[in-house]
Amino acid sequence: MTESILKNYIAYMKNDKALTSNTLEAYIRDITQFKEYLVQNNIKDSTKVNKTIIITYLMFLQKEGKAPSTISRNLASIRCYYQYMLNNNLIKEDPTYNLRSPKPERKLPSVLTKEEVDILLSQPKGDDFKGVRDKAMLELLYATGIRVSEIVALNLDDVDLELGQLIIEDDRLDVRVIPIGNMAIKYLKKYIYEYREKVLKNEDEEALFLNYNGNRLSRQGFWKIIKAYSKQSKIEKKITPQTLRHSFAVHLLENGADIKTVQEVLGHSDVSATQIYTFAMENKRLRDVYKKTHPRA
């Protein structure tokens, strides 16, 4: 690969393309790795690369165990590079033309059983600020299926304990009203009326969940809390805030909720994003049937 072309291309990407730093780094890293592959295969001139060579490289990435999403990004990086050369009259044809990205894997969400949820939610103990706050947060997360970004953004006014509902406004300014279960209401009342004020330093602080300094609990702080209780529970699954969101959705569907309702509660703009949970349910059902019926299961 001609060094001067690559150098000019990188300068173009940095100066003329409105990319985030992470995306820019990924594109440069991908094209640099492609360059190394070409050199290893005695291809020194990138302008001579044809469609077959690129397909062979994508197959090489597949054999290396790269995920379809990674291979798709590599193809996008290579396509961007050759579009740059085509636009600058360095090549006559784009070798990536009509090349399709591999279909993304349909990853089933990690879901806890109802028994595992009970174990996890029972981990916060102690009649103190941290124990009651953490219990209220975990109960609320499982009761509503909201995102971690949404739970840390909650203000006191977003919770109506008398009506038993939560009001969420997303980035699109769409508002959704989510019912809250009795268990979550019980611990929210205890936290708000007995413990929140013990760390509150600024009367104007609107945040529902506070840290020890009386400030809004951060997303990172919430992740640490989940990680600690996950380890403490000894559940042999990777548990993140998203795991409780997934579990909430699957348990609703298992108990007869229709997919449209679950979509609305989760705040999915497209029902296809919610349908992954029906696949998770079907996959679990098949595994359970197999274990019960196969003689060597």
As annotated, the active-site residues are 245, 290
DSSP H or E stretch at residue 68: helix 68-87
User: Which string of b and e fits 30-58 if b means at least 16 CB within 10 Å?
Assistant: bbeebbebbeeeeeeebeebeeebbeebb
d(CA 159, CA 143): 13
**Helices (H), ranges, 94-237:** 114-121, 129-144, 148-153, 182-190, 196-199, 219-233
Q: What are the phi and psi torsion angles at 207 (to 5°)?
A: -60, 140
Is the distance from CB of 79 to CB of 28 less than 8 angstroms? no
For the residues of 136-160, what is the DSSP string, one character each? Answer: HHHHHHHHH---HHHHHH-BGGGEE
- CA gap 267, 149 in Å, rounded: 13
The H-or-E segment that residue 175 falls in is strand 175-179
The SS3 of residue 292 is helix
